[in-house]
Every structure is written in C-alpha cells, then in structure tokens.
Amino acid sequence: MKPTAIQRPRRGRHPLPWRAAWHAAVGMVGVVGIVGVVGAIAPSSAQARIVHQERSVYSTILVDQRGSIICMQFNVRRDQRNQSCLDRRRPKVMLFPYTRMMMASLLLNPEPRRILMIGLGGGTLPLALDELLPAARQDVIEIDPAVVRVAREHFGFAPSERVNVVPQDGRVFVKRAAQRGDRYDLIMLDAFTSEYIPEHLMTREFLEEVRGLLAEGGVLAANTFSISDLYAYESATYASVFEPFYNMKPNDSGNRVIIASLAPLPDSAELERRAAALADRLKPYGVRFDEILPLMDTRQDWDPDARILTDQYAPANLLQNR
C-alpha cells in the first residue's frame, strides 16, 4: 500500500511539522501534517514524550504526548506527520479541521443507518458517529491491526456490536461488499499512509465501486489534500464519478474534504435550515456550521483538462511523466 515518495505534497507548501508548530501562534497550538492543522487549543509548555512505539507490517507507529494532547504518527522521521490527535481533557472535541468538515456529510443525510469508514487512525470519526447515531451500524476498515490496537489502548476507541472493525485492505472490502449486495447511507474515505492516499484508493474504478455501495440518497465524504500536486487530477477523477460535489478547503489547513451525494445537492437555504437543526448535537464535537457552511462550494477550481486517474494511469506514473 505504500506509495512512492513522489506522491508527497509539494515541499515548501506542506503544513509545518508538529514539533515546529506547537509554538507557531499565540493562543493556538498547531498540530499538523497529513491530517491538517489543529485549531483552538491552548498552548502547552509541556515536553513531548513518546508513550508507545512499534513497527507493524505496514509502518512504524509512534504515539507521543504533550500535556493533555496525545497523537498517533506513522513512520519515525524528521518531518513527522500526525495521523490523529486527542485532547484528553476534551475527548469529544475534534481537533483537526478535516474531521469537522467531514461531519458536514450529516447535512445531506442526518440519520444514516449504515456507515462505511475506510481508514481508522485514532478512531475520532467512528467514535463521534457512534455516539451521535446509536441506531447506526458501522463497518470500519483498517488494513493494519496494529493501528486498531493502538487506537484502543491510547485513544479510547472500542469496537462493539454497532462498530464492526474489519482488518482488511479498503478496496478488497469494497469489492466483496458489492458482491454481497451491501449498501451504505454514508461512506467516509480517510485512508492515509505516512505519505499520502494509497494509489489504488484514488482511481476512477475505485470511486465507481464505492458509488455502487451507496444506498438511495447515499452520501460520500473523502479526505484529501488541497496542496498536493495531484489536486487537479484527483478533482477531475471525483468529478467524473460524483459531479457535482462540495469542495471544502479551509484557509488554515492543507486538507480538502469532498462531499457528494446520489441525491441532488441542497441549496444554501436548505443547508442553513439543516445546519440549524443539527447545531446543538454537533457543538460538543467542536463542529461550527458558521465556519463550515461558507466552505461548501461546488465551483470547479481545477484544470478542466486534467487527466482522470485510473487503475492503468496511477499517481506515481503521472508525476514521473510530468
């Protein structure tokens, strides 16, 4: 699953590594990397300490803690990226902008009964959805059993009768789910390695397979980057399967969240009405619709001639041949 190094976002435009960013702003601690910038966290003078480290089949997993904030990272290197962070003083609050943006998928379907999550990390999204939607059933797909174990031991994640964890490659699961005739009301794509999204989870063929798993009116939310060299190609690929979609890009994060639906997208007035109905439920998680609604843009901001990514035309080959 590990992509080649040339899939990395452009150097010089990537969010700062967390070790440099903790004191990057007054009144804010920037925990950054592959999942973006953490906002509105009180600065801490505590020294970071490693609380867990292990080498799995897929990566080296590192867990470190600074004050009340604990973070999971894949691979130990100088420009370390955080995959997931938790503030133990406020465990419900979603620290990363991308997780809060992905919760906007509930504006398109506020009561999904079956949910598919590809990529676990520390379990922030499955935990929140389980608490918010006790009638829902989730399938959480994580290729690395070590990540599941670390999420349980350090981030409070726990599989249950409602949250089924499957240790499997996401694309293999999607293919087998299609053969079974499974359908989901909400699908969230959040699978990252230490570099970027695995190549086989970025192609038109994969997205078509995912679309085939959506129930009537089903919703897709996908976490990608807004600063990657692949931005235009990813956008064109998603548009070929899900156009139109909401393209959400906050100014303070390198992440981009795509939200699409098999149903027509609601207009701004309808989004505001639905946001008002959901606001109190999502407030404990740090989700603020006054910040999210302005980001829900459907305008195309990429090269319309960008080539679509396919199983035969992979991201690594794309960049090598530019």
Q: How many domains does the chain have?
A: 2
Question: What is the residue type of 53?
Answer: Q
Structural domain contains residue 228:
yes
Task: Give the residue numbers spanning the domain of 62.
Answer: 15-87
Residue 149 has pLDDT above 80, yes or no: yes
Residue 232 sits in the same domain as residue 310: yes
Residue 159 sits in the same domain as residue 199: yes
- The whole-chain average pLDDT of the chain stands at 84
Last residue of a domain, one of 87, 109, 134: 87
Instruction: Give the global pTM.
Output: 0.84
Residue 121 sits in the same domain as residue 262: yes
What is the per-residue pLDDT across 244-276, written as a single tens digit (0 to 9) for each? 999 999 877 788 999 999 999 999 999 999 999
Q: What is the dihedral of CA 121, 124, 129, 130, to 10 degrees?
A: 80
Structural domain contains residue 114:
yes
Ranges 59-68, 166-175, 192-201, 211-220: which has the least confidence = 192-201
Instruction: Annotate 222-244 with b (16+ C-beta within 10 A) or e (fewer).
Output: bbbbbbbbbbbbbbbbbbebbee
What is the per-residue pLDDT across 80-100, written as a single tens digit (0 to 9) for each? 568 899 999 999 999 999 999
What is the per-residue pLDDT across 19-34, written as a single tens digit (0 to 9) for each? 232 222 222 223 333 3
Q: Predicted confidence band at 3 (pLDDT cuts at 50, 70, 90)?
A: very low
The more confident residue out of 321 and 239 is: 239
Last residue of a domain, one of 87, 110, 145: 87
Residue 208 has what pLDDT? 98
Residue 321 has what pLDDT? 52
Structural domain contains residue 10:
no
Residue 198 has pLDDT above 70, yes or no: yes
The active-site residue out of 64, 87, 169, 190 is 190
What is the per-residue pLDDT across 270-295, written as a single tens digit (0 to 9) for each? 999 999 999 999 999 999 999 999 99
Q: Predicted confidence band at 227 (pLDDT cuts at 50, 70, 90)?
A: confident
Tell me the average pLDDT across 288-307.
95
Active site residue 190: yes
Structural domain contains residue 4:
no
Last residue of a domain, one of 34, 56, 87: 87
Q: Residue 171 belongs to a domain with what CATH number? A: 3.40.50.150
Residue 304 has what pLDDT? 87
Residue 67 sits in the same domain as residue 131: no
Q: What is the dihedral of CA 13, 286, 292, 256, to 10 degrees?
A: 30
Residue 176 sits in the same domain as residue 49: no
CA–centroid distance for 211 within its chain: 18
Structural domain contains residue 170:
yes
